[in-house]
Amino acid sequence: MELHIFAQQLLNGLSLGAIYGLIAIGYTMVYGIIGMINFAHGDVYMISAYLTAIAMSVVFSFGVDSVPFALLIILAVAVLVTAAYGWVIERIAYRPLRGSTRLAPLISAIGMSLVLQSYVQVSQGARNQGIPTLIKGSLRIGSDTKFVQMTHIQLLIVAVTVAAMGALTFVIQRTSLGRQCRATQQDRKMAGILGIDTNRIISTVFVIGASMAAVAGVLVTLNYGSFDFSIDFITGIKAFTAAVLGGIGSLPGAMLGGVILGMSEALFSGFVNTDYKDVFAFVLLVVVLIFRPSGLLGKAEFEKV
Amino acid sequence: MGIRTLRKFMAAALLSGCLAAAQGAAADTIKIAVAGPHTGSSASVGEQFWHGATQAAADLNAAGGINGKKIELVKGDDACEPKQAVAVANRLVDVDKVKAVVGHFCSSSTLPASDIYAEAGILQMTPGSTNPKVTERGIATIFRMCGRDDQQGTVAADFVVKRLKAKRIALIHDKDTYGQGLVDAFKSRINKLGVKEVLYEGLTRGEKDFNALVTKVKAAKADTVYFGGLHTEAGPLVRQLREQGLKVNFISGDGINTPDLVTAAGGKQFVDGIYMTFGLDARNLPSGKEVLEKFRAAKIEPEGYTLYSYATLQAIAAAMKATKSTDGKKLADWLHKNKVNTVLGPKEWTPKGDIKVSDFIMYRWDATGTAKEVK
């Protein structure tokens, strides 16, 4: 086996894993605070892909030709609108069910996912959409024939994922908002008695989760150049798997789970067989969950009797 | 997956309820289904089917219809998913009571749906399903307007080995009936020509990241990639090949023949140089001239399968006129024996339902995002 091929597969896995990790952050944050799996998260990511394309065509129609400036505007538009979606989804699909059983919001999340997907399919059409290549070029190390490379956009994705994870960890661990989040997570009623507006905290978490999905939507769309209304499904499932693998509720766990999932897919595909890479990835998940039921970095939950 | 199936089932149930209510008024029309992926990632092909069939129906109706009755088209959406294809086929048979079917497109949808039409004795002709199995299962009432993948694979293999002089060929398919069948046909031909493939792998439909596979192609030192699948995966695959600096030849089949390939690849620069097999471009045939003008007058470019769909309805109508019947068995017997003049020229069928002369040729995509015949 040639070394540069092996290194390249690791990098392929890293960039794929970073994408999973970026989307997994949204799953893991919502779960961490209210113990609910937000199945509509993948759809929010899909919507941000459409917003990217719309914002891009508007930005270019105003004759903006500086790429970093255009990218900033696109990112701002996508994050703001997607965050609004996150807030509205929480407001109409989850908050009314706050007091009911644990399964009720799960079902309304699935319903929300179907609503969003169908809404985009009807309003935007079923055909796949594309955007022009905004960030070109790649970083290559090695000789002309034997090199390892990452495209600039892949490097950007890894950097943004690490930065986002760091920033969110800081917010959760060090700020007043973070303390309120953790208090809400530990005991919602008690937090409420102590003067924390728990509804507002939960809304904030959804807005942050949706913003992360928007960042992922922009970067992933720029990376692959095309998308359609059904991209939520496979990517959403994989990101969710990454969150579970790393330990759902843990931010570094989302990143770790994403990278492990991405790398195991890339290495199995690259050196064994592409047909069964997903089988391998899920076998890995099962094995991890057998030995560590709450994931690699997850905290074990104790039921108080 | 369970949720998706349930949703489709519910949608189908809801739809059939509405249609049942609307029935009764239309006794003096002949209902013909246009079944294919009207939604989903292959919706652009469904659109081609629909454009072709609606224009053909309009032209046939303007000329007096079939045996004094007008043609009424019914849309059947399979979204290129086998399970939905079965649901929609049952609806077309039981609720809409169609007399013939134009469709489906994805071979993996055509196969399960065809059992339902066969059982009901309804004539089915597909404009675009190329998998050999479609006509190899002894169903008397099934036909196709296109060639077969064993023919298509052979044409591509001869081109790759003899014209491109490829020595190291990587084979990639999408694990679907059509894609894998096409790659297998291609493989058996190159093996016969003395070339052994360096890679044989299947990717997953719906994914977008094929970088690991691309690196594997690079590690295998391939000079040519043959892909069996649809444009939705071909686009990202070819893009990532180019991004990783691989200047290999890229060849695929009829499944990528839609302008959406450019969208899926994310730019015209990525499709430049792709080779593909497809039937003769009917737009260049003398038989298609008049119809072509009608399409262009309606601002529709009849690309890909549009004229195949038009010709399919022509053939069905011709059989209905000649036999003065809509009985699947009688129509099939007539089509097995007679020649039909279609927009694609005169067509004849073998006893299995394949067209007698297949017309696959090589095309090459260029930097303007269109495919032109390779001379």
Which stretch of DSSP H or E encloses residue B87? helix B82-94
Is A297 within a domain?
A: no
Q: Summarize pLDDT for A29-48 with one digit per residue, the tens.
A: 888 887 888 889 999 999 99
Is A6 within a domain?
A: no
Residues B152 and B254 sit within 8 Å (Cβ to Cβ): yes
Inspect the interface and report whether the beta carbons of A273 and B201 lie closer than 8 Å.
yes
Q: Is the pLDDT of residue A260 over 50?
A: yes
- Please state the ipTM of this predicted complex: 0.88
Q: Are residues B93 and B227 in the same domain?
A: no
Residue B212 at interface with chain A, using a CB cutoff of 8 Å: yes
Q: How far apart are CA B250 and CA B275, in angstroms?
A: 6
Q: Which residues contact B352 (CB under 8 A, 6 or more apart)?
A: B135, B136
Q: Are residues B57 and B100 in the same domain?
A: yes
Q: Are residues B309 and B249 in the same domain?
A: no
Is A228 within a domain?
A: yes
Q: Summarize pLDDT for A45-71 with one digit per residue, the tens.
A: 999 999 999 999 999 888 887 888 999
Q: Summarize pLDDT for B123-173 with one digit per residue, the tens.
A: 999 999 999 999 999 999 999 999 999 999 999 999 999 999 999 999 999
Is B237 within a domain?
A: yes
Is A2 within a domain?
A: no
Is A276 within a domain?
A: yes
Q: Are residues B225 and B366 in the same domain?
A: yes
Q: Which residue of B has its CA nearest to A237?
A: B1
Inspect the interface and report whether the beta carbons of B263 and A128 lie closer than 8 Å.
yes
Q: Is the pLDDT of residue B25 over 60?
A: no
Q: How many structural domains are present in chain A?
A: 1
Is A126 within a domain?
A: yes
Q: Is the pLDDT of residue B24 over 50?
A: no
Q: Summarize pLDDT for A149-180 with one digit per residue, the tens.
A: 889 999 999 999 899 889 998 998 999 999 99
Inspect the interface and report whether the beta carbons of A226 and B204 lie closer than 8 Å.
no
Residue B265 at interface with chain A, using a CB cutoff of 8 Å: yes
Considering only CB atoms, B206 lies closest to which of A138, A149, A230, namely: A230
- % of chain A with per-residue pLDDT over 70: 98
Residues of A in contact with B38 (CB under 8 A): 126
Identify the weakest region by mean pLDDT among B69-78, B132-141, B280-289, B352-361. Answer: B280-289
Residue B203 at interface with chain A, using a CB cutoff of 8 Å: yes
Interface test mutation site (partner A, options B38, B105, B199, B215, max chain A beta carbons within 10 A): B215
When pLDDT is averaged across residues B111-121 and rounded to a whole number, the result is 95
- For the domain that residue A167 is a member of, what is the CATH number? 1.10.3470
Is A298 within a domain?
A: no
Interface test mutation site (partner B, options A39, A127, A135, A139, max chain B beta carbons within 10 A): A127
pLDDT in the model for residue B274: 96
Which residues form the domain of A141?
Answer: 13-291
Q: How far apart are CA A282 and CA B223, in angstroms?
A: 33
When pLDDT is averaged across residues A93-119 and rounded to a whole number, the result is 89
DSSP string of B49-79, one letter each residue:
HHHHHHHHHHHHHHTT-BTTBEEEEEEEE-T
Q: How many structural domains are present in chain B?
A: 2
Residues A164 and A22 sit within 8 Å (Cβ to Cβ): yes
Q: Are residues B310 and B259 in the same domain?
A: no
Is B355 within a domain?
A: no
Considering only CB atoms, A138 lies closest to which of B215, B235, B243, namely: B243
Considering only CB atoms, B41 lies closest to which of A228, A266, A267, namely: A228
Residue A201 at interface with chain B, using a CB cutoff of 8 Å: no
Is A79 within a domain?
A: yes
Q: Are residues B250 and B317 in the same domain?
A: no
Residue B44 at interface with chain A, using a CB cutoff of 8 Å: yes
* Helix (H), strand (E), coil (C) string for B256-296: HCCCHHHHHHCCHHHHCCCEEEEECCHHHCHHHHHHHHHHH
Q: Is the pLDDT of residue B6 over 70?
A: no
When pLDDT is averaged across residues B291-319 and rounded to a whole number, the result is 92
Residue A131 at interface with chain B, using a CB cutoff of 8 Å: yes
pLDDT in the model for residue B12: 53
Q: Are residues B293 and B262 in the same domain?
A: no
Check residues A85 and B6 and name the one with the higher pLDDT.
A85
CA dihedral (A113, A119, A125, A129) in degrees, to 10, reads -50
Q: Are residues B107 and B211 in the same domain?
A: no
Is B222 within a domain?
A: yes
Q: Are residues B48 and B112 in the same domain?
A: yes
Which residues form the domain of B233?
Answer: 149-281+360-373
- For the domain that residue B364 is a member of, what is the CATH number? 3.40.50.2300
Q: Would you call B138 helix, strand, or coil by DSSP?
A: coil
